[in-house]
Each structure stands twice: as C-alpha cells, then as structure tokens.
Structure 1
Amino acid sequence: MLNLGPSPSRFDPEQPQLSPERARVLEAMQRRDSAASVGDIARELNLHENTARKHLDGLVDRGLIARTTGVSVGRGRPARSYSALPRSTEPDARVREYVGLATALARHISTTSDDPRRDAIAAGETWGAELVQDPRGKHRGKGKTLLELLDRLGFSPEADATGDSIALRRCPLLDAVRAEPVVVCAVHLGIARGVVAALGEDPEPVRLEPFSEVGACRLHVA
C-alpha cells in the first residue's frame, strides 16, 4: 500500500547527493507503508531487477532504507525485502532544530487562537508577500514566480499541463505537519496566497489539498 502526501525535504551535508534514478527509488520506498521486493520496485519504476537491486542496496549502505533477508528455500539467493526507515528521523541537526521551532510555533497558534487555521493562513500570507522581493516577478507571471519560490522553499513543485495546479512533491516541514497538520498546512496555503496577492492577482481561488495523492499535496492556483 502507498502512502499519500509528499516526501520530506532532507539535507545532509556529510553525504553526496543521490543520483536522479537512485532518488526515484528512495521516493518509491518512502511512499510505501510496507516492505517491497526488488521485483516490486523494478516493476513500479520500469527498471531491470539488477538495476533496482543495485540502487536498493546502495540506499541500504547510506542508511536510508532497511534490508531484511529471508530464509533460503531451495536453490538461488535468499529472498530480500526492503523497507523505508522512519521518515521522522531527520539526519541534519540544524533542520531538526528548525522543525522543532516550527512545531512549537504551530502548537502555540493551535492552543491560543480562537481560529487557528485563519491565523495560520494570515501568517503564511505575510511570509509569502515578503518572499516576493524582486519587482520583476510581476512580469514573470503568477505561475512561474510561484513555482520558483516554492522550489526555493523546498517543496519540489511540479505544475500540471494547464498551470492551474501544482503538485508539491516534498515538504520542508513534514515532521511539523504530522504534529500540527491544520496549522502548518494552513501556513503553506497562506504562503501561496501571499505570493499571488503580492503579484497583484486575486488569491481567493488558491486552495491546498494536503496529502491528496500518492507522493504529493495538490495546490490549486486557478
């Protein structure tokens, strides 16, 4: 079974970046809530099994996923299964501290506000407006500017063919979302609305569907 919602934005300065193909394998593992075989991943990503095995074992060596070896039955190598490690474990202490602060602020809004979602959206709108510092953004257009800023914030956005909606493939505050989903998701919605408003366009059509599909949240901008 696959998990809904985006993957976390991870940063580890001590490790080289994953190749695009190996990153795809890691994303596929992180979308699962149960173990997978080499064949499962090979079929899902249209890879040769030897290639899938190489990437899975490489991720095991990096400590990003776990490998379990079954009991050998008959000839051939024992069956191996792979599973994602808990995604709440952030390898970078600096990011953990930032997420901890974000969680504390979200919890404060949640417990002191008479309308946490409204106040979280308002906070995000302020943040989003401040992100639009380059006046040339108005000439680049709403869609391109929003994509650039969301990418800079670590959301790995992907616009659909029409440009009316954006898949947010990663979440820079995924651990905080798990603790305070209403508030943190509302802040993210507010960021998008704040950007759109700062560009002189109507922010009302902008809406966010958190954890609405496999591997992403969906941001509608029109």
Structure 2
Amino acid sequence: MTTGRPTGYSAISSYSRVEILHLVQEQPQRTIAEIVAATKLHPNTVREHLQRLIDEGYVVAAAEHRTTRGRPRVLYSAADGIAATSAVQRRKVIAAAERGDLMRRVLPGEDPELAPDALHQVDALVEDLIDAGFDPLVDERDLTIDLTPCAQATAQAAHREVLCQVHLELMQSVLAAAGGPLSIDGMRPSCDPNECVVQLMLADAGRVPTPA
C-alpha cells in the first residue's frame, strides 16, 4: 500500500534531518549549538529541521534545568517512547491502533498470529513506515517487515549505514510508544544493498531465529 504523497514529503527524506536525528539518537539533550557544530549547517536551518522532526513526533524539546541565573537552553532528544516521549507520536500510535482494529472488524480474515497489544504495535509501525515513504510487507508468523526495495538506500547510498541505524531506532521508538511485547531485533543481512528485511522479536519468546 502506498500513500501517493510526493517525494520529499517525509520528514526523514532529507539526509540533513537524518543526520540530526542520528546525533540526538546517539546523545540526547543536545543544544542547537552542538548540532550546528556537528553538521556545519546554519543555525536557522537546524532550527527548521528540528521543528519538522518535532512536528512528526521524532524529536522532543525540553528546557534545560538550571541551578544558576540565566536563560535556560533548549535541549533536543530523539523520541524513544520511554524516557523521551512525544505527544505527537503517542497520538499517532493510538490512532493507528484504532484504525487497525476497525479494519480487522470490517475486513475479517484469518485469525491474527499476534496478540492484540502486539498487533497494535504493528499497526503503529506500518503507518509510520508508510508515512516515511516505505511500502512495508509484514509477516506476522516470522515476525519480519520487508521494506524492499529501499528507495532511500539507493538515493543515499553513501550514507546507508547511518540511514539504517536511524530507521531502526525510529522503528524501535514507535514500538515502545505503542507498548507491547515486540521490539526490533535487527536487520537480516543481505548482499543486496537495496534489500531490507527487519526482524522483530517477542519479549516473552526470546530471539527469533534467523534462517541461514
């Protein structure tokens, strides 16, 4: 399923925003000045990118707690669904669960492989991936999400390692915000740089074995 949105719609279609996300994922509570120094972008550009990421629920901002006089700085962290929570992200996962439940009632099929809380996690993750420009294919039995072909890996081939790491962190954040037993186990290895299959893991079932 695709959204028909134009290229560039996604908040993470810009590598500059991906780079900023990578920075705040690696080290939370960064300042504008720190991000500017790391990216060499203009401060106004960094502010615009951060606002876009905040609007999408990927980044949260908080005022610095100061014990001395002076204006507190604004600190930016990646939303992780646990320590750094985003109200935008939370609204999204609730709405995705409601739409998923409605769809399953209207279009009944085989009984789901997953429990309701895990299904709601998948609902939230799939909607987030679609919004990001992917076309996810979910296998509830094998607990995989196939994102092949990954257009972003082709467009940003020189930055594939960072892109993959950022996307996996974003996916884990959505799963954590939705609440439930599923988490990201990693990407299945492939010789094809455009192939992307993400392995999920059930908290109460341990690691899902990856086929040889």
Query: Could you say which TM-score interval applies, normalised by the shorter chain?
Result: 0.3 to 0.5
With a CA cutoff of 8 Å and minimum separation of 6, indicate the structure with the bigger relative contact order.
Answer: 1
Max Rg structure: 1
Question: How does the TM-score come out when normalised to structure 1?
Answer: 0.41
Question: How does the TM-score come out when normalised to structure 2?
Answer: 0.42
